[in-house]
């Protein structure tokens, strides 16, 4: 009787682990587009880059704010599977751009645009479980 109970417990545990990975998932590999004037855009999922089969994909943003000053900074960067990279940075960006960069986590899907001077002109972050 104990062997049956142990066997059923192990089977139930295995099913519980499998159901933990259930749910809608959307893979969003990193895409980088760069124009001849060095402007461009990049998009993709943080988790998709992390679990990609290559060692080149990454995407992310960083935000900085100093205490007792109004100085802020945002930088975003990405690389696709082919090794195309894009980077932008902006000092004292719009508050909402700074907040978007601050919200990046493993469940983030990111889009950012860069002008020909390397400034971040658009930062979009969507956090959702489908990105995991």
Q: What are the pLDDT tens digits along the chain (132 aa)?
A: 455 455 444 444 444 444 455 689 989 999 999 999 999 999 999 999 999 999 999 999 999 988 888 889 999 999 999 999 999 999 999 999 999 999 999 999 999 999 999 999 999 999 999 999
Considering only the C-alpha atoms of the chain, give the largest distance between any 2 of them, rounded to a whole number of Å.
Answer: 74
Give per-residue pLDDT as tens, 12-43.
444 444 445 568 998 999 999 999 999 999 99
Strands 31-34 vs 40-45: parallel, antiparallel or unpaired:
antiparallel
In the chain, DSSP finds a helix count (H) and a strand count (E) of 3, 7
- Domain ranges in the chain? 25-131
In this predicted structure, what is the pLDDT of residue 74?
97
> Using CA atoms, how far apart are residues 113 and 119, in angstroms rounded to an integer?
8
Give pTM, 2 decimals: 0.81
């Amino acid at each position: 009787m104990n062997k049956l109970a142990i066997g059923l417990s192990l089977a139930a545990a295995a099913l519980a682990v499998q159901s933990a990975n259930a749910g809608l998932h959307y893979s969003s590999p990193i895409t980088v587009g760069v124009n001849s004037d060095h402007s461009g855009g990049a998009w993709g999922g943080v988790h998709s880059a992390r679990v990609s089969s290559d060692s080149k994909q990454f995407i992310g943003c960083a935000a900085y704010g100093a205490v007792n000053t109004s100085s802020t900074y945002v930088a975003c960067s990405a690389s696709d599977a082919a090794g195309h990279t894009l980077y932008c940075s902006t000092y004292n960006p719009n508050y909402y751009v700074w907040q978007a960069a601050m919200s990046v986590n493993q469940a983030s899907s990111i889009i950012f645009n860069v002008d020909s001077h390397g400034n971040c002109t658009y930062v979009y972050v969507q956090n959702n479980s489908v990105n995991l």
